[in-house]
Amino acid sequence: MKRNLLAVSVAVGVLVLAGCDKEKQPELTTPIQQASYGIGLNMGQSLLQDGLDDIDPQALALGLQDALGKQEQRVGDEELTNAFNALQQRAQERAEALANEALDANKQYLEEHAAKDGVTTTASGLQYEVVTSGDEDAAQPQADDVVVVHYEGRLVDGTVFDSSLERGEPAELPVAGVIPGWVEVLQLMHVGDKWTVTVPAELAYGPRSPSPVIPPNSILVFDMELVSIKSQEE
């Protein structure tokens, strides 16, 4: 069978996952080999993200070989449609099960966290701890303000997904243009306050995730410092 280099590289890269001998692995030294490996890597990461961790790597490699080598497909369109429908149904069931597990875990986490000393829980379920208080007479943001905030956001397992501290520069944000948990907490803070804020999933991104780093239904924890409120002129 005649194949181009890209087909060979991607197919071999996938077959390696199935346990090919080390001597058969490509060296990944040329740009086309490295790009081919990147394609396979991205494909595998996407499959894992979709919960398809039991895809058959050898069958996947065979499909790549046939497609890139312009060979006749080995499975009929009707069979493929049925197979994809079954796969989609299974992925949906898995996603729903994981979402329910996350919600149950979230409830337990928030209940336990709320019981800790120094944690205040608002009517919405938002939780915050005062780390450092600014002047009690300092200004508080309104919904139509733009604020300057230094922050670091992480998951409950400690994974950092965003940090103005790492970037070395605070962020300028419209109060009304952020997640609901931030909209609420920013209007409670005074300039100079430093709080640790725990945002329930429904006040963050809920079942939809803006990034692979943030799983659906994630509780988000932020270390926040309200640096200033921008004037209307600014």
pLDDT tens, residue by residue, 153-170: 999 999 999 999 999 999
**Neighbour-count burial of 154, counting CB atoms closer than 10 A to its CB (0-12 exposed, 13-18 middle, 19+ buried):** middle
Name the active-site residue from 151, 193, 214, 219.
151
Query: Which of 215, 196, 195 lies closest to 204, judged by CA?
Result: 215
- Which amino acid appears at position 112 of this protein? E
Active site residue 39: no
Active site residue 222: yes
End-to-end CA distance of the chain: give it in Å, rounded. 66
Domain with CATH 3.10.50.40 in the chain: 114-229
Active site residue 84: no
Residue 149 contacts residue 170 (beta carbons within 8 Å): yes
pLDDT at 214 (0 to 100): 92
Report residues of the chain scoring pLDDT below 70: 1-24, 231-234
**The tokens 């099960």 sit on which residue?**
97
Active site residue 162: yes
Active site residue 128: no
Residue 99 contacts residue 216 (beta carbons within 8 Å): yes
CATH entry 3.40.50.720 includes domain 114-229: no
For Cα atoms 206, 129, 171, give the angle at the middle one, nearest 5 degrees.
Answer: 65
pLDDT at 79 (0 to 100): 94
